[in-house]
Amino acid sequence: MAAFNRSELADLNVFMAIIRRRSFRHAAHELGVTTSALSHTMRNLETRLGVKLLYRTSRAVEPTDAGMVLAEKLSVGFATIQDGLDTLELYREAPIGRLRLNVPQDAAVLLISPLLGEFTRTYPQLRLDVMIEDRMLDIVAEGYDAGIRYGATVPQDMVAVPLTGELRWIMVASPDYLATAGTPKVPKDLLAHSCVRMYLGDKTPYKWELGNGARQQRLDVPGHFSAADTQTIVDAALQGVGIAYCLENRVLPQLADGRLVEVLPDWACIGAPLCMYYPSRRQSQPGLRQLIDMIRLRTTGSVLLE
């Protein structure tokens, strides 16, 4: 093989993006180029190496045996290179580069949106990319630097940093709905009510968790309307569709002005905090520590210890 050069390093990076994504289209989106450019790069790389690296069909892209061996070796090498570059973050006064996050809608509304102006003004040389998805995914395989999820759902092989205190999940309804349908007194009364059902990120219906500890109950509530995002669920409750289940923090204004009323407050559920999670204990992705600190100052009054 000819002497190693910068062009080949770039081509190998393209190959690794395709391996991660198992898709030319998704890899092209990640790298900011066209699929035809990726195809051209891969043809040239395979020609130079004299080995076929990928099987490409109309549905998927899979590595050949040689491609799999090369990908395994390169993953170690690229991780070492990234580790070396990441150490530079320890010596910068302000982060420079790109921080890619994947967060659920609740975290976007409660944690990210309120500080966007302050964060971008404070760190103008940092590009922050936020993708909002409620489904669980492999942030490393999908090309993200970090994610936010509820603590109990964070993968065990990740580092998790709490961004909030424990969260209170409550049931709410409009005064008009309760005036018509009555107010439930105990959890089993919900079975005779219209409830706004919730779908999880994997499209399975969520059983409401009521109460805490040994008295906790999980109910598969009835209802004629279901949704997968909190805003739609809250909107349905505001319009009298039924009783909704959501984070208390998402409906504080509506509770304060009386548009919604808490139902069965003694059966609110205290759940795990929202956590930032990432794969490296050194937490050296550009801007990640600063973002975590800014969120925690707003929610808990504390920052991470150095």
Q: What is the SS3 string spanning 33-94?
A: CCHHHHHHHHHHHHHHHCCCCEEECCCCEEECHHHHHHHHHHHHHHHHHHHHHHHHHHHCCC
Cα–Cα nearest to 230, from 299, 148, 132: 132
pLDDT at position 22 = 85
Structure confidence at residue 58 (pLDDT):
67
Q: Which CATH superfamily is domain 95-163+273-299 in?
A: Periplasmic binding protein-like II (3.40.190.10)
Contacts 24+ apart (CB under 8 A), 9-13: 11/41, 11/42, 11/44, 11/45, 12/45, 12/74, 13/78
What pTM value is reported for the model?
A: 0.69
Q: Positive or negative CA dihedral for 199, 161, 285, 69?
A: negative
Mean pLDDT by 10 residues, the chain (306 residues): 63 87 83 86 88 82 89 82 63 72 95 95 92 88 90 87 95 98 96 94 88 94 94 97 96 97 97 90 75 92 61
**Contact partners, residue 111, CB within 8 Å, separation at least 6:** 103, 148, 163, 164, 274, 295, 298, 299
Pairing status of strand 126-132 against strand 97-103:
parallel
Say how far apart CA 162 and CA 302 lie, in whole Å: 11
Token pair 């949704």 in the structure block, residue: 227
pLDDT at 110: 95
pLDDT of residue 209: 95
Which superfamily, per CATH, for 167-271?
Periplasmic binding protein-like II (3.40.190.10)
What letter would DSSP give residue 275?
Answer: E
Please identify, in words, the CATH class of the domain defined by 6-87. Answer: mainly alpha
Q: Where are the domains of the chain?
A: 6-87, 95-163+273-299, 167-271
Cross-strand bridge partners of residue 208: 219
